[in-house]
Amino acid sequence: MRAIEISAPGGPDVLRPCERPTPEPGPGELLIAVQASGVNRPDVLQRKGLYPMPPGVSDLPGLEIAGTVAGGAADDLAAAGLALGDAVCALVAGGGYAEFCVAPAGQCLPLPKGLNMVEAASLPETFFTVWQNVFQIAGLKAGETLLVQGGSSGIGVTAIQLAKAMGASVIVTAGSDDKCAACLALGADHAINYRTQDFAAEVKRLTGGSGADVVLDMVAGDYLAREIDCMADDGRLALIAVQGGVKAQIDAGLVLRKRLTITGSTLRPRSVAYKTVLARQLREQAWPLLESGRVKPVIHQVFPAARAAEAHALMESSTHVGKIVLTWD
Ligand SMILES: NC(=O)c1ccc[n+]([C@@H]2O[C@H](COP(=O)([O-])OP(=O)(O)OC[C@H]3O[C@@H](n4cnc5c(N)ncnc54)[C@H](OP(=O)(O)O)[C@@H]3O)[C@@H](O)[C@H]2O)c1
C-alpha cells in the first residue's frame, strides 16, 4: 500500500511517500480502506521526534481516518454493528497516513449522515479530545462559561461548537482579528485577540468579574497564572498541550481560595476500552448534532496525501482555521 512515512526527525520535507505492507487486523480490530486522513498538531510533534508513538503502534503518522471497512473477523464486525464496505471514521493511535489502516472496532464510528469522507476524517481526534476534556473531565454544564485558548485550531473549532450546542457561553482567544471573526462566526460569544489584548482582563470584564468556569488550555507556560487569575470559584482547567512552555509560576493561594481543579491529559496512550466509551458517548450525543447540522466540520484545506509535507508546512504557519485533511485517490 502507499503511505507517508517520517524518514527522519525534522521539518516537513522528511515526510516521504513510501510503499508499506498492508497491515493485518488483529483481534478486536478492523481493516479500513482509507479515503481521507486528518492532520493534527500532534503529527507535527511526532515528525519532529517530540511525540514518540506508544509501544506496538505503527511508526506511520496519522491519528484519524475515514474510509470503508475492508476486513476484520466476523465476530468483531458483528460486535461493532458493521459490515464489509460500510463507511466509517476512526480514531487510531498511529498509521493514519496510509491507504489502509487497522483500527480498534470500538473506535470506529459510522459516517455522520450527510458528511463526506474528508469531513468525517476531520472529526475523531478533536471530538474525542474535546469530549474527554471539556465534558468528561472538566464537566462543563449549560449556563457556564468556557474559555478556549486557540479558538481557531482544529481543537478550538470543535470546542466552540460543542460547548455552544450544550448551552454554555464560549470565550476564545486567537492570534489575529480574522481568526477572531472566524470563531465568532462559528458561534463563540466573544473572541479575544491575544496579541493585542490581555485575555485575563478581558475574561474578567466579559463575565462581570466572575470569571470562566472551565478553561481548555493548549498553551500552558505563563498562561497558567493568568488563567487562574480569570477563573471562577470552583473552576476547572483542562490542560492538553504546552505550546507556551512546561514551567509555570502560579499563585497557589488563589487555587485554594477559588477551589480550582487543574487537570492534564494526552489521549493517544489511553486504552482501547477508555476510547471505546468515549466513542459510544460521541455517537449518542455528538453525532446527532453533526447530522442535524448544528455542529459542522470546519475544513481549511485538502491536500493529496503525496503532498503531506505541504500540509504540515501550512499547519506550522498557523494561518489555518479548523482542519487540514489528506486524501487518497
Ligand atoms: N492532550 C491531548 O490529548 C491532545 C489531543 C489533540 C491535540 N492536542 C493539542 O492541542 C493543540 C491543538 O491541536 P490542533 O491539531 O487543533 O492544532 P492547530 O490547529 O495547529 O492549532 C494550534 C493552535 O494553538 C494556538 N496557539 C498557539 N500559541 C497560542 C497562544 N499563545 N495563545 C493562544 N493560542 C495559541 C494557535 O493559535 P494562533 O495561530 O492564533 O496563534 C493555533 O490555533 C496542539 O497543541 C495539540 O498538540 C492535545
CA–CA separation, 57 vs 71, rounded Å?
19
pLDDT band at 53 (very low <50, low <70, confident <90, very high): confident
For the chain, how many residues are written? 329
Residue 150 CA: nearest ligand 1 atom is 34
Ligand 1 center to residue 60 CA distance, Å? 22
- Nearest CA residue ID for atom 34, ligand 1: 150
Angle, CA of 150, 156 and 159, to the nearest 5°? 140
pLDDT at site 214: 99
Q: Is 266 a pocket residue for ligand 1 (Cβ < 6 Å)? A: yes
Cα dist from 90 to 196, 222, 302, whole Å: 39, 35, 18
pLDDT tens readout for residues 284-309:
999 999 999 999 999 999 999 999 99
pLDDT tens readout for residues 212-240:
999 999 999 999 999 999 999 999 999 99
In 10 A of CB 78, how many CB atoms?
A: 12
pLDDT tens readout for residues 246-289:
999 999 999 999 999 999 999 999 999 999 999 999 999 999 99
Superfamily, domain 127-264: NAD(P)-binding Rossmann-like Domain (3.40.50.720)
Q: Which of the listed residues 243, 266, 271 should we mutate to test ligand 1's pocket, taking the one with most ligand atoms within 8 A of CB?
A: 243
Residue 264 CA: nearest ligand 1 atom is 1
Q: Which of the listed residues 148, 153, 246, 275 should we mutate to test ligand 1's pocket, taking the one with most ligand atoms within 8 A of CB?
A: 153
Is the backbone of residue 187 left (phi > 0), alpha (psi -120 to 50) or beta? left
pLDDT band at 78 (very low <50, low <70, confident <90, very high): very high
Would the pLDDT of 52 be above 90? no
Q: Please, which contacts does 75-80 make with residues 24 or more away whose CB atoms are closer than 8 Å? A: 76/25, 76/27, 76/28, 76/29, 76/30, 76/105, 77/30, 77/105, 79/105, 80/30, 80/105, 80/106, 80/108
CB 225 within 8 A of CB 200: no
Residue 320 CA: nearest ligand 1 atom is 19
Q: Is 174 a pocket residue for ligand 1 (Cβ < 6 Å)? A: yes
CA–CA separation, 87 vs 69, rounded Å?
7
- Nearest CA residue ID for atom 13, ligand 1: 41
pLDDT band at 146 (very low <50, low <70, confident <90, very high): very high
Give the DSSP per-residue string, 193-243.
ETTTS-HHHHHHHHTTTS-EEEEEES--TTHHHHHHHTEEEEEEEEE---T
Q: Is 41 a pocket residue for ligand 1 (Cβ < 6 Å)? A: yes
Would the pLDDT of 59 be above 90? yes
Ligand 1 center to residue 208 CA distance, Å? 28
Residue in 273, 302, 313 with CA at minimum distance from that of residue 117:
302
Would the pLDDT of 314 be above 90? yes
The cell numbers describing 329, all together, are 485517490
Ligand 1 center to residue 75 CA distance, Å? 39
Mean pLDDT score across all residues of the chain: 97
CATH number, span 2-123+268-327: 3.90.180.10
Ligand 1 center to residue 215 CA distance, Å? 14
Q: Is 315 a pocket residue for ligand 1 (Cβ < 6 Å)? A: yes
Q: Stretch 144-151: mean pLDDT, rounded?
A: 98
Q: Is 219 a pocket residue for ligand 1 (Cβ < 6 Å)? A: yes
Residue 322 CA: nearest ligand 1 atom is 19
% residues pLDDT > 70 (the chain): 100
- Nearest CA residue ID for atom 36, ligand 1: 150
Domain spans of the chain, in order of start: 2-123+268-327, 127-264
Which string of b and e fits 131-153 if b means at least 16 CB within 10 Å? bbbbbebbebeeebbbbbbbbbb
Give the DSSP per-residue string, 242-290.
-TT-S-----HHHHHHHT-EEEE--STTS-HHHHHHHHHHHHHHTHHHH
CB 283 within 8 A of CB 81: no
CB 250 within 8 A of CB 224: yes
Would the pLDDT of 67 be above 90? yes
Query: Can you say whether the dihedral through the CA atoms of 122, 240, 175, 254 is positive or negative?
Result: positive
Identify the three-state secondary structure at position 120. Answer: helix
Q: Is 173 a pocket residue for ligand 1 (Cβ < 6 Å)? A: yes
CB 300 within 8 A of CB 126: no
Q: Is 42 a pocket residue for ligand 1 (Cβ < 6 Å)? A: yes
Residue 154 CA: nearest ligand 1 atom is 16
CB 66 within 8 A of CB 36: yes
In 10 A of CB 231, how many CB atoms?
A: 29
CB 176 within 8 A of CB 184: no
Residue 39 CA: nearest ligand 1 atom is 15
Cα dist from 121 to 38, 63, 87, 217, 224, whole Å: 5, 10, 11, 24, 32
Topology agreement, domain 2-123+268-327 and domain 127-264:
no
CA–CA separation, 57 vs 269, rounded Å?
10
